[in-house]
Structure 1
Amino acid sequence: MSQVADITIADVRALPPTVDVVTAGKAFGLGSTTAYRLARAGEFPCKVVRAGGGWRVVTADLRRVLGLDDQERAAS
């Protein structure tokens, strides 16, 4: 059984416009197998798109689902 590495709020804010499913899954505390299973089933917690032979997660939607956009607006 593999362990999910911690990803911080600062890490999420520093992500590029899209990330792989494993990276996004870490933000939700998911392991890679579960993240890919949810993506294939259309049940991943945020927007996932097929790109070539892989899956990409739109970072803006990841931040929105995690409530980080609201925190950034409130701090402004």
Structure 2
Amino acid sequence: MESTGTVTEYTPDSSLVLDSGSGEPVHFIFGRNVTYVGADGQPVQASGLRKNLRVRVHYLVVGGDKVIDKVTLTE
């Protein structure tokens, strides 16, 4: 599954909250092995992720949690 939005809260290696434009924030947690990709498709460091950045997250639903396995920076 995937979701696109603006990062409103970010705790490195722990959690991420997106404003997807639906009115309700969407909460995610990070999986053990997360891939970070820039808008150009090239790998980037996790440190490139920050609040107010627009991203697309790929995730799995595990036990009710949305667990991120890939983050793509869209800007």
Work out whether the TM-score is over 0.5. Answer: no
Greater percentage in helix: 1
Larger radius of gyration: 1
Which of 1 and 2 has higher RCO (CA within 8 Å, sep 6+)? 2
- TM-score, reference length from structure 2: 0.28
Greater percentage in strand: 2
